[in-house]
Homo-oligomer: A and B are copies of this chain.
Amino acid sequence: MVKYPLEFSIGNRLERMRAMQISELRYHPEERVLVNGWVLHHRSSGKIDFLVLRDGSGEVQVVIREPDRSRLLVVLEQVQQEASVAIQGVVQQDPRSPGGLEIIADGIQLLGSSEEYPIGPKSHGVDFLMDHRHLWIRSPRQAAILRLRAAIVRRSRAFFDSHGFIAADPPIITPSFAEGSSTLFAIDYFGEPAYLSQSGQLYLEALAMALGKVYAFGPTFRAEKSKTRRHLSEFWMIEPEMAFCQFEANLRWQEQFIEAVVQGVLEECQAELALIGRDLTPLRRVLAPFPRITYGEALKILSDRGLGLHYGEDLGAPHETALAEAFDRPVFLTHFPASLKAFYMQPDPNDSTLALAADLLAPEGYGEIIGGSERIYDYELLRSRMARYGLDEKTYGWYLDLRRFGTVPHSGFGVGLERLLAWIAGVEHVRETGAFPRTLTRLWP
């Protein structure tokens, strides 16, 4: 077992140093440093060894020349891909190196070996990689996507926090359901039937009446038997809900939010986006306001493109892609037939067969990334809707109460984090957008 913190003996000197992160090296040119990390690559010319080291904060090239190389050869021969090592040496500026720095090393210690690391430079099948997801996340591309995810989470929260929204956590274990009962995961709650939340919205409406503007950011669950590149059974949602907010203001919050996140990530995550190979041109165009088309107008556009739908039919992925192609930035699809949407959506005052609902479609075929609506605030209207949808007042009495006691116009929306990330990162399949994704066929690792 390796002793840690490390003691290095170099010649007759015993040195003990604080380890430094790779991201700190640029503040220490020409200095002697100790760096811990994992080996991404190791190659040897026979006279000189090159390692690329990663530690989560960055990557750096390590160069070991003669005579140190010969002295360290016993260790160097064991240093394979993903071995963990401690390196001692001097930081040198070198414009040819990635990051402009390298370490000229005269000490290396093997912390943990890595024999027969399963993920090599050759290409592997998706099932193999997903079975090794606990290791696959170490690869530069997967790690970059996870860092992008963290940046989107941070930027999203910062947007709402800085605009007076209060973060709140609706319950995950619920007795009721918002989006339809066929896709619920059931659990036994001390003998009572319960379900994993598909959306915190109903609870967030109660919270908006208490706190004004609120948002949730947590996991939601859908037991959908869909095996597509857009579906996860566990995914995270950002769900803002605003009192005294109507349909048009709701759309403005959405487009401002998307603009802030996309432009913020473009500024902050250049290295990650470059590593993934994302084309930045379409992202730079994501500036509010976004175009708005009604469901009725959408049917016309689709018909012109040979994708006719009957009035009242819902759009599928090919329709969303075709519509998005008609615009240079995300597009709102509004005023759906009420029959396509949830019971709680406010009718259009000009045509009560339409719902004041909107989906935001991402460009480049990434489909719906936001769904939102104004909510019904009239007690009698909501009550009759609930009766028509077969929702009993015992379970939903508390939700009706929000319309009995100081009801106000209010609106909200839900953003799927993984779809938003898939689009921003430009990855084909949502399974790469989370650390350990859960799909119809995957519960492990």
- Footprint of B on A, CB under 8 Å? 1, 4-5, 19, 21, 23, 36, 38-39, 55-57, 82-84, 111-115, 117, 132, 134-135, 137-138, 142-143, 146-147, 149-150, 153-154, 157, 161, 164, 166-175, 185-190, 192, 194, 196, 203, 206-213, 218-219, 221, 223, 225, 233-234, 236, 243-244, 246, 377-378, 381, 398-399, 401-409, 434-438, 440, 443-445
Contact = CB atoms under 8 A, between A and B. Distances in A.
A172 B232 CA distance: 13
B143 A210 contact: yes
Given A203-B435, A207-B435, 15 more contacts: A36-B243, A36-B244, A56-B208, A56-B212, A111-B407, A117-B405, A132-B398, A134-B401, A137-B210, A149-B169, A154-B167, A157-B157, A173-B221, A190-B225, A190-B233
Contacts of A234: 171-173
Contact of A435 (B135, B149, B169): B169
A84 B212 CA distance: 12
A86 to B, nearest CB: 9
Contacts of A233: 173, 189-190
A56 B407 contact: no
A154 B170 CA distance: 17
Contacts of A36: 243-244, 408
A443 B174 CA distance: 7
B210 A112 contact: no
A169 B218 CA distance: 10
A377 B111 CA distance: 10
Given A440-B190, A443-B192, A134 B402 contact: yes
